[in-house]
Structure 1
Amino acid sequence: MVCTGARIFLESLKREGVDLFFGYPGGAVIDIYNELSSHPDIRHILVRHEQGAVHAADGYARASGKVGVCLATSGPGATNTVTGIATAYSDSIPLVIFTGQVSTPLIGNDAFQEVDIVGITRPCTKHNFLVKDVKDLALTIRKAFYLARSGRPGPVLVDIPKNIQQATCDYVWPENVSMRSYCPTYRANLNQLRRAMDVLVTSRKLLVMAGGGVIMADAAEELTMLARRLHAPVTSTLMGLGAFPGDDPQWIGMLGMHGTYAANRAVTQADVILAVGARFDDRVTGKLSTFAPNARIVHIDIDPTTLRKNVRVEVPVVSDALSALQGLRAILESGHAEKDWEGAHAEWNAQVREWQERQPLSWARGETLKPQQVVEALYRMTEGKAVITTEVGQNQMWAAQFYKYHRPRTYLTSGGLGTMGYGLPAAIGAQLAFPDRLVVDVAGDGSI
């Protein structure tokens, strides 16, 4: 079948299971928009700014677990996407961003609305492509989606010149894709898992720490089962909220700069920390030399560059969170099924509960209505079933602290980059992913 590049683009999106994307028209992508009317099964969501398109695709991806997609024109349209791309890159969100580009003979000539978006976004994308031949377009799109969703997820940019959209060739969809230089490790090394369990068995003050990687790997249920089996208190990073039920007795709240007293005391006193899918950023650790001074750390992450990057780690495990947690539970049940984990951690759990009771997360109540009360009221009214998006600042932290998250993918926020203005377009993306669910953006005046 002979197709134009514009048609190949849309046919390839359908092959990847894309049913909607966010975008804003422009001259360098007008051929794609002209072709769009022939593909009624793909919805186009018109935004008012390209940064909003990326944030909306980001919210769609975080809420649904699918790859978010957006489209922008060349030049200023492409540069407007950069903040949204960097936001997704910081939080490991799977996106594919398509940008238009001037025709290939004009690249490098300072043509009208030409910009080197590949060069500009190289530091804040997982990978990016400039398509120079229409015959490579379908394979490039296939690679972009493969890269975005596999390994440690992230944004991938594909820059498509105008003449490539107009050129024609036989459309051949590559069913399989492989890249010699890219082979992410999903399954944990069994010996490392055994070493990890050997450390866990020695613990008297075990703390389980969940990061965003647990949610990205759809491993929340597995983490919950393992933590309950170990009878250990559970904390999480900002990005890990929802990985463990917020109303469970073992839940002690978020840790770090804006965390609870109990969680931060537990980190300081723990003798073993099982950290899953977290990167130990500065908002979690504070001063690195004083972080978890008594703990032997078992760190599970799919990105090997994250392991031992910031903190001392006794047992690093390169693995998808789901695979590693399943492996740990299998070792526990086969080799340590008789151990009295509840008894081993009874004194520790009592101490953690005492910290929770001594300094609960609260505020001075008075005649004036407080934002914290509003967030708590929102939780009661929604019974914890809403998808919450946030802007950045105090509103973000109040939403993290005073709304209890029982399920993953229900707290959507810009964690790593701290992008103000993220919450509203992200809420639109989440609502399009789940039209029947309640989505609430908790915002501050600065973001609005």
Structure 2
Amino acid sequence: MSNSMSTGAAHPAGFADPAILERGYRKATWRLIPFIFICYLFNYLDRVNVGFAKLEMLDALKLSETVYGLGAGIFFIGYVTSGIPSNLILHKLGARRWIAAMMILWGGLSAAMMFVSSPVSFYTLRFLTGVAEAGFFPGMVFYFTNWFPSQKRGQVMALFMSAIPVSGLVGGPLSGWMLSHFATGQGGLAGWQWLFLLQGLPTVILGVAVLFFLSDGLQHARWLTSDEKAAMKQALDADEHGRRASSHAVHSFSSVLRNGHVWMLGLIYFSIQMGVYAINFWLPSIIKALGFDNPATVGWLSALPYLFAGIFMVIVGRSADARRERRWHLAVPMAMALAGLLLAANFSHNVVLVMIGLTLATMGALTGLPMFWPLPAAFLGSAAAAGGLALINSLGQVAGFVSPFLVGWIKDTTGSTDVALYILSTVLLVGAVLVIRVPARLVNR
């Protein structure tokens, strides 16, 4: 530690040696992000693969579009009700053990979806999977606050959350191939059953790997030198001091519940997720309705919007951090998403224009996710972060129930998803307007 202290003496108070600090960030990024990226990829794949299973499962089990929409959405009732307690447990027990337990449990439940035989079993397993997954994402957001200061989190969150478009990029063709390859019912299982089994089991294996790979924080990271730990700790302390010095900072969970900006951010996140989950759960069905009946073809076409979304997400994340600007880097992608949904709805019989619209919508909505999270993290103090981030996430995840159920009900009622796309565009417009109303001084860090 003497070396780190002497190094620190050469710099102004509150500032770590830039070279040592960047070396520590580089190590942390390469050590943590790729592994967590893979975990989140399977988290998202396990959550939304029901959208592909639907292509066969509904006919096999004689389920309606409304039943599917309710089953897809009921996951989020379990998710929302368990989000805050799960994240508070993570804060108490440590990330490594709790994340491992969650992954093993939800991976097993996701694989168990292969045994669904009725609406009741469909609803029950989706609900329990939501309970099991509830703490993972807000736990990861909180976990990053223990490693990276505010000015680093835009790019870190973009890298982490690029797992969402990659899950679509990889999961679409993979799911389509599984449905086609196992269409003849190998081993007595239908293609949709193999899909749940083969995409759920890797999560269980990754959950076990978490116990050996993740560190609970800087002090437990054996792969960092003492100088790097000291520099990163100093940067985190300076970041926390900046929040405490702000008259807008929130430092306790009771303050979170009374803070109007927290609830407004929850509404903004809800509007983003309305678009995201409509795309995740209905993209394969919308593409199939264009006249593509082969599951493999649907899978490859559904990968295209996610490919462009992944590239756009990383570019916008880097721009937001470089410019220390948060609001417009969120509002503009949201405007792109609503424009894309309107394009897909207005030209629903034109394959090229629908695909362009779906691509714009996917790029905008998915980029809105990592661009959103630096906003609350910028003013929630460390004591308030675990519960505050979980509360905002839970408010946003209500959209996971509302969006697929709304689209399914409208599809059954009207025979088309166009009206649903108009409604979702309106919700995104409201959210984009609210983003601009968030005070810049509160979030531009």
TM over 0.5: same fold? no
How does the TM-score come out when normalised to structure 1?
0.24
Max Rg structure? 1
The structure where helix makes up a greater share of residues is 2
Which structure has more RCO (C-alpha within 8 Å, separation ≥ 6)? 2
How does the TM-score come out when normalised to structure 2?
0.25
